A and B are shown apart, each in its own frame.
Chain A
Amino acid sequence: NAGVMQNPRHLVRRRGQEARLRCSPMKGHSHVYWYRQLPEEGLKFMVYLQKENIIDESGMPKERFSAEFPKEGPSILRIQQVVRGDSAAYFCASSQTSGGDYNEQFFGPGTRLTVL
Chain B
Amino acid sequence: SQQGEEDPQALSIQEGENATMNCSYKTSINNLQWYRQNSGRGLVHLILIRSNEREKHSGRLRVTLDTSKKSSSLLITASRAADTASYFCATSRRQGAQKLVFGQGTRLTINP
Q: Which residues of A contact B (CB under 8 A)?
A: 4, 31, 33, 35, 41-45, 48, 55-56, 58-59, 91, 93, 95, 97-110
Cα separation A97 to B96 with both chains bound (whole Å) = 8
Cα separation A43 to B45 with both chains bound (whole Å) = 14
Are B42 and A42 in contact, CB atoms less than 8 angstroms apart? no
Tally the A-B contacts, defined by beta carbons under 8 Å.
67
Are A104 and B42 in contact, CB atoms less than 8 angstroms apart? no
Interface residues on B, range: 20 to 34
Cα separation A55 to B104 with both chains bound (whole Å) = 25
Grouping DSSP codes into helix (H, G, I), strand (E, B) and loop, the B interface class, with mixed when no group exceeds half, is strand
Cα separation A43 to B90 with both chains bound (whole Å) = 9
Are B99 and A48 in contact, CB atoms less than 8 angstroms apart? yes
Q: Which residues of B contact A (CB under 8 A)?
A: 4, 31, 35, 41-45, 48, 50, 88, 90, 92, 95-105
Give the nearest-CB partner of B1 in chain A.
Answer: A58
